[in-house]
Chains A and B, each alone.
Chain A
Amino acid sequence: MIVYKYIAEVLFYALVILTFAGGIMAVRSKLLMHAVLGLAATLFGVAGLYFHLGSPFLAMMQILIYVGAVCIIIVLGVMLGNTPDQLAAKHLTGRNLPLALLACSTGFIALFVATIARTEFTVATEKVGDMSIEFVGESLLLQYCMAFELVSVLLLTAILGAIILARGGREEKSS
């Protein structure tokens, strides 16, 4: 059984590296397309972490919704604009880079260290109840029904807003 534990540990670090590498790629790449694919890698990594935490359902939904739908829509939007040989304009000039890095990082590190020193880390409790689809579904539709419904109202508002924006542009053009 101890071998399983090692395999799980190796997988965990691999997934963490994938998540962070994707995040860095999303922020630092010069091409918008690479940034979106970095985002997709991060979301994959997060899905893997859900799997590692023992919720394959959540992992599959993460891939289905975020990688399969959200990323594809973003990529489609990006494809309208750029081709591989158009690089994004460089915003970072090299002149005061060390000074800028120092100024940014001191404040961050000070706050970070202070926060870590103050926080008491408690080990997460063992999971209670089963995490099967039935359990997730029941808690979503009974216990957290209000939050669930409010989220769907938010999505509905977003859809209506998008329709109004798209229609508004079209009418102006025709008149």
Chain B
Amino acid sequence: MEIFYSILPELIRIVVCAVCGAVIVFGNALVMGYAERKLAGHIMLRPGPMEVGPHGIYQLVVDGLKLMGKQLVVPAKADPLLFRFAPLLAFAPVFVPLLVIPFSSKLQGFDLDIGLLVILALASINLLAVLIGGWSSNNKYSLFGAFRAVSQNVAYEIPMLLSLLSIIFMTNTFSLKAVVAAQSPVWFIVIQPLAFLIYLVSIVAETNRAPFDLPEAESELTAGFHTEYSGMSFSLFVLGEYANMFIVSSVATVFFLGGSSGIPLPYFEYSGIIWFMLKVYTLMFFLVWIRWTYPRTRFDQLMNFCWKYLIPFALVNLLITVVMVKLL
């Protein structure tokens, strides 16, 4: 019994972290699912969902119930095991990055000195899930979608990493908390505007959203890699996508927008989360705005833009940063 009491605080901490992670993942999906449809509607000069509840605010709850009630269809020629496994692999890894994100100076699961690496390593697993899902569906549209997803994500990971690396050179640490602490007078968006721009373009491609949503371009590929998925296995992919959007926006907030810093409120060690969430959702609103404003690019334009413009600019930016850090 004594042993039990000795590990109790740590046990409670782990459970609380896990529950908070789940709340963030599902709550974020509900909010973003509704906001995306409503914003898309208003950008296209139509009201969006209006029927269920005032201004359709219960729409996503009803949609969730509908998706849970649907049959999970496995195509006859698909690989049954991998077909069922892929949505789980897309969804499960999104919980771990949430543990290392500093929502305020005290609200953080674990402050690891390799915080950024944890996020990047687990983000790369999502791509494997997309590949497995696309391949195991045994459908040409799914396969093409998966192909496009991998070539696009592998390419855009490079400028994303390079832009974050220039911040890492300035702060000398991978710990997200230390990066937030390093930008107390000025946010890094002021010092590194080019890196922020490159990161912003890269995350649009990394999260497979328009104008870079070639992996699921509905006019060419029906729905891309998740064409054959139905019911909850489809919604696991969607939940994973929204959670990934949240994670990349949080990384942008931590690295460029000063994390939880802002006008001081009472109990600022905890209430900094208000500023953090405000910044994250502003970025996510920006991503939705881009999605419903710009038309889809062509695939060769997308790849040329990455290899011929983003990567060279990111490299030059990194070089200048390194020289400046050495000189100053």
Residues of A within 8 A of B (CB): 1-4, 31, 33-34, 37, 40, 56-57, 60-61, 63-64, 67-69, 71-73, 75-76, 79, 83-85, 132-133
Cα-based distance from A1 to B6 in the complex (angstroms) = 8
Residues on A with C-beta less than 8 A from B138 are 83-85
Q: Of A34, A40, A67, A132, which one neighbours B113 at CB under 8 angstroms?
A: A132
* Cα-based distance from A116 to B6 in the complex (angstroms): 42
Instruction: For the complex of A and B, list the 9 residue pairs with the smallest distance between their C-beta atoms, beginning with the closest.
Output: A68-B124, A84-B79, A63-B121, A64-B121, A60-B117, A60-B121, A84-B138, A75-B131, A57-B114
Question: Is B268 positioned at the interface, with any CB of A under 8 Å from its CB?
Answer: no
With known contacts A37-B82, A57-B114, A84-B78, A76–B122 Cβ distance under 8 A: no
B118 near A72 with CB under 8 A, answer no
CB distance from A61 to the nearest CB of B (A): 7
Q: Which residue of A lies closest to B124 (CB)?
A: A68
Sample (17) of A-B pairs whose CB atoms are under 8 Å apart: A2-B3, A33-B82, A33-B135, A34-B82, A60-B117, A61-B117, A63-B125, A64-B120, A68-B121, A69-B124, A71-B128, A72-B154, A76-B150, A79-B143, A83-B138, A84-B78, A84-B79
Q: B125 touches which one: A68, A83, A132 (CB < 8 A)?
A: A68
Q: What 1/0 mask marks residues of chain B from 119 to 153 whose CB sits below 8 Å from any chain A CB?
A: 01110110110011011101000010011001100
Query: Taking the complex as formed, is B174 at the interface, i.e. its CB lies under 8 A from any CB of chain A?
Result: yes
Chain A residues positioned under 8 Å from B6 (CB to CB): 1
Docked-complex contact B124 and A64, CB < 8 angstroms: yes
Query: In the assembly, what is the distance between CA of A12 and CA of B95, in Å?
Result: 22
- Whether the pair A84, B77 counts as a contact (CB closer than 8 A) is yes
Q: Is the interface of B mostly helix, strand, loop or mixed?
A: helix
Q: Residues of A contacting B3 with CB < 8 Å?
A: 1-3
Interface string of B93-122 (1 = CB under 8 A from A): 000000000000000000011100110111
Chain B residues, Cβ within 8 Å of A71: 128
CA distance A64 to B174 in the complex (A): 15
Q: Tell me the count of chain B residues lying within 8 A, CB to CB, of chain A.
A: 33
Distance in angstroms between the alpha carbons of A111 and B122 in the assembled complex:
41
Chain B interfacial positions (CB closer than 8 Å to A): 3-4, 6-7, 77-79, 82, 112-114, 117-118, 120-122, 124-125, 127-128, 131-132, 134-136, 138, 143, 146-147, 150-151, 154, 174
A132 to B114, CA, bound (A): 9
Q: Is the CB of B154 within 8 A of A63?
A: no
Whole-angstrom CA separation of A85 from B78 in the bound complex: 8
- In the assembled complex, the CB of B13 is this many whole angstroms from the nearest CB of chain A, namely 14
B151 nearest CB neighbor, chain A only: A76
What distance in Å separates the Cβ of B275 from its nearest Cβ neighbour in chain A?
A: 29
Minimum CB–CB distance for B152 against chain A, Å:
12
Whole-angstrom distance between the Cβ of B44 and the nearest chain A Cβ: 36
Q: Report how far A162 CA is from B113 CA in the complex, Å.
A: 36
Chain B residues within an 8 Å CB radius of A2: 3
CB atoms of A72 and B78 under 8 A apart: no
Interface pair A40/B121, CB less than 8 Å apart: no
Q: Which residues of A contact B154 (CB under 8 A)?
A: 69, 72-73
A72 to B11, CA, bound (A): 36
**CA of A1 to CA of B10 in the docked complex: distance in angstroms?**
12
Taking the closest CB of chain B, its distance from the CB of A140, in whole angstroms, is 15
**In whole angstroms, what is the CA distance A16 to B154 when docked?**
30
